[in-house]
Amino acid sequence: MKQLSKHFAVKTILIALFIQLATVAVSIGQTKTEQIDKLMNLYSDYGQFNGSILVADAGKVIYKKGFGMANMEWNIPNQPDTKHRLGSVTKQFTSMLILQLVEQGKLKFDAPIATYLPDYPKASGDKITIHHLLTHTSGIPNYTSFPNFVKELSINPYSPEAFVKKFADLPLEFTPGEKFAYSNSGYFLLGYIIEKASGKTYEQFLQDNILTPLKMTNTGFDHHETILKNRASGYEKNGKNYLNASYLDLSIPYAAGSLYSTVNDLYLWDQALYTEQLLSKKNKDLLFNPYIPAGPGHYGYGWFINKAFNGEKNDSLTVVEHGGGINGFNTLVSRIPSDKNLVVLLNNTGGAKLIEMNTAIRNILYNKPYSMPKKSLAIAFVDVILEKGIASGLTYFKENKNSSVYAINENEMNSAGYQLLQTGKIKEAIEVFKLNVEAFPQSGNAYDSLGEAYLKNGDKKLAIINYKKSVELDPNNANGKKVLDEISKQ
């Protein structure tokens, strides 16, 4: 299953944790700014970052720069004032708007959502609260995981009211409050609730209550048809090449992912979070409370809450951050409030290793050893396959998989397999997907892709085995379940 817009947030970020890197000692004689610049230039040279970055240390900007192209057709470079789509970074703005309405007495955290949406099905509307939506504990199925999302839902415009009906009647995946399960549906609903409680559109309420007060003049709700100065185009990597990202109607991500911004504006946002300009301290602190376990850390209201250096003496440093992924873009805003440190990474070629970059930058800020990037083994060995055949490609992979020069990345391996699959090289694609499964045996997505390749090759038995393994590892894999059901009916 090729990973596209279905993950506005977490999945791609977690994958990067598996990458093997060459750790280097703290650089002597170089400033933090010089070290960050050297690091990011290498990521850019390797084709692994194409976007804008800003780093603040103790509240002061020490580095901001653009890399690569905002528009490849016209060779327009990325700059700190380039507007990028944010994807799920939008959620932190949505949660702020909700808390403002709570502070105004128009919403209550523990009130059932049926209180504000009387037409919502009562079977679930009376059980789910605002708190559940904010913390991804509602049990509402995530619409970006629906099998028809990419080809049908994502390309058509909907009003908030009409789109809510696409998931409102579906059974809950678990009892509200029982566990964490990332759901864009929940944040879509929060946007709709904001409209009902405020009497304004989500876009207008955002403008009036956050963007205008903070003078964030380069941030807003994106619209495909609007002529927007300095907006970056979105691209997807296909091996060494780039493609224009597939179309997505921006009414679909909505309050879960439809904003655009710049690194400069996101610095203004970060600085405002240290004040009470938008919200009282009492309510603002609620944003960053670790309510529910979520992966290696916890989830607050629109933010992941983690520790900076797990297992070390200063692991008490708390990181509040959130990533985003939307067609052609991936993003990350990472803050360490105790030291007023900030890293903003906005990339417009999709799937960049932003968590890996952020980790290295954080280590630079705290004078710790950090990791330099490696070249992509997936891209290199697919070139060998295309030039010399699969046998030579597999030999090249085996010779270099433990190299200090190359890294194996799950997303890149997955993309390499699809690059071959889409050009009719099915047997070659199978070999690539098999290597990906071997490298990442706990990835449901890797098994899903291998199953798809076997199915295209006419091997239903092996397709079923791999799809079943995929669903076992990722019970939310709706696509895998659908394919298994279709095969069983044949």
Please enumerate in sequence order all residues whose Cβ is within 8 A of that of 267, keeping only pairs 6 or more positions apart, or say none: 54, 56, 61, 342, 344
pLDDT over 70 for what percent of the chain?
Answer: 93
331 secondary structure, DSSP code? E
Two structure tokens written together for 446: 């890797």
Residue 480's SS3 state is helix
- Whether the per-residue pLDDT at 9 is higher than 70: the answer is no
**pTM summary value:** 0.88
Give the tens place of pLDDT for each residue, 312-353. Answer: 655 679 999 999 999 999 999 999 999 999 999 999 999 899
Q: What's the confidence (pLDDT) of residue 24?
A: 62
Is the separation of the CB atoms in 358 and 332 below 8 Å?
yes
Cβ neighbourhood burial of 71 (10 Å; 0-12, 13-18, 19+)? middle
DSSP per residue over 180-237, as a string?
Answer: ----HHHHHHHHHHHHHHHSS-HHHHHIIIIITTTT-TT-EE--TTS--TTBPPPEEE
User: Of 421, 482, 480, which is closest to residue 445 (Cα–Cα)?
Assistant: 480
What is the pLDDT at residue 26?
56
According to DSSP, residue 459 is labeled -
> For residue 8, is pLDDT > 70?
no
Contacts of 187 (CB under 8 A, 6+ apart): 90, 91, 94, 133, 255, 256, 257, 302
Identify which of 238-252, 260-274, 298-312 has the greatest average pLDDT: 260-274
- Token duo for residue 44: 């850019």
pLDDT number for residue 245: 97
Q: Which pLDDT score is estimated for 312?
A: 62
We find that the CATH architecture of domain 375-488 is: Alpha Horseshoe (1.25)
Sequence ranges of the domains in the chain: 375-488
- What CA–CA distance (Å, rounded) separates 242 from 305? 34
